[in-house]
Amino acid sequence: MALSPAIIHAVAAEPVSAESDVPFTFVITADMRRYSGPGEYDTPHYFRGACESIANQGGGDFMISPGDIDPPAGVKWTITQTLGITYTWYPGVGNHELPGEGRELYYGHNMDWLRSYDYGLVNPGPSGCPETTYSFDHENVHFVMLNEYCDTTGDTVTDGDVSDHLYDWLVADLDGADTEHIFVFGHEPAYPQPDADTGRKAHYLGESLDKYPWRRDPFWDLLRERGVAAYVCGHTHNYSAVKIEGVWQLDAGHAGGLRDPGAPSTFILVHVNGDIVTFDTYRDDANGGAYTLMHEGVLDGIETYLPLIAFGAPMAAQSLE
């Protein structure tokens, strides 16, 4: 495995061509929220259980979490307790990190924490959210984290949107990307989906990026035009993997264990091996039990058929092309 990126405080960095293609794995978790950290939820039935299972699968090289991680200090604590104090974590902003919308020590503490977090050597975001929107390269992959609550006036000012300001920054960032693969992360889905296993209806339908289709659609067109392998989100607590007009949307569901009985707790391992990107999705039994491999597929590199293994019964891949 490749070494995790060095931990250096976020600074302006010129995009660097990722010429290396050493195989590596990264982990996706989301929406674990307060079911982490020391105290009553520090058991295998909550986020700790997901992290312990991730460790059992080799840990990956780093973890990325697209939001609803309040309080982020608690999530970081559980990660370091289970995956090691040097393990690299890239957090993103969800609606529950906004002031007054989640568990916080004082009004605005979660955003203060995220603004001051050490993201490593990353390209900073636009004015309004230079700390909480960022991008970086690792081996032959370019990663982008969007704060979808950002516009010119601040980093907590929209209700979930790809503002023109954020879109313009993303265009410039992708213009500078010189890697084989690209992943873009943001908290809210562009196209909310039902849970792949339970069939639970899509949460926040009409209340996510799809609330503003006149900005969602150009955003999705940009991802397709730039060859983005996948847009990765959370927010709904439902796990899904769908290919929409040539771009995969991975909704990571929730990694909170028993926090939401309507959908099994989930984490995703993404494996990058040269020009091929594959993924394995692990879910618990929705009762705080052990995590097992439920879904696997190919995201980039070859024409894709995505087998979905739903509690032992294969399901057809969903496509909205």
Can you list the domains of the chain with their CATH numbers? 24-319 (3.60.21.10)
Q: For residue 259, is pLDDT > 70?
A: yes
The H or E element spanning position 294 is strand 292-300
The H or E element spanning position 267 is strand 266-273
What are the strands, taking DSSP E only, across 61-187?
A: 62-65, 88-91, 123-124, 134-138, 141-145, 181-185
What would the mean pLDDT of 18-34 be, rounded to a whole number?
A: 88
- Banded pLDDT at 222 (limits 50, 70, 90): very high
Q: Return d(Cα 154, Cα 164) in angstroms, integer.
A: 13
- Banded pLDDT at 19 (limits 50, 70, 90): low
- Which pLDDT belongs to residue 165? 97
Write out pLDDT tens, residues 44-62.
Answer: 999 999 999 999 999 999 9
Surface-to-core class of residue 183, CB atoms within 10 Å of its CB (0-12 exposed, 13-18 middle, 19+ buried): buried
Q: pLDDT higher for 4 or 253?
A: 253
What percentage of the chain exceeds 90 in pLDDT?
83
CA 122 to chain centre: 16
What would the mean pLDDT of 107-129 be, rounded to a whole number?
A: 97
Q: Return d(Cα 167, Cα 302) in angstroms, integer.
A: 28
What would the mean pLDDT of 4-10 be, rounded to a whole number?
A: 32
Closest C-alpha among 5, 295, 29 to residue 141 = 5
Q: For residue 1, is pLDDT > 90?
A: no
Q: At what angle do helices 47-56 and 72-83 cross, to 10 degrees?
A: 30
Write out pLDDT tens, residues 108-117.
Answer: 999 999 999 9
Q: For residue 230, is pLDDT > 50?
A: yes
Q: For residue 277, is pLDDT > 50?
A: yes
Task: Return the SS3 of 273.
Answer: strand
- Which pLDDT belongs to residue 307? 42
Average pLDDT, the chain: 89
Omega prior to 66 cis, within 30 of 0: no
Residue 29 corresponds to which tokens in the numbers above? 């978790």
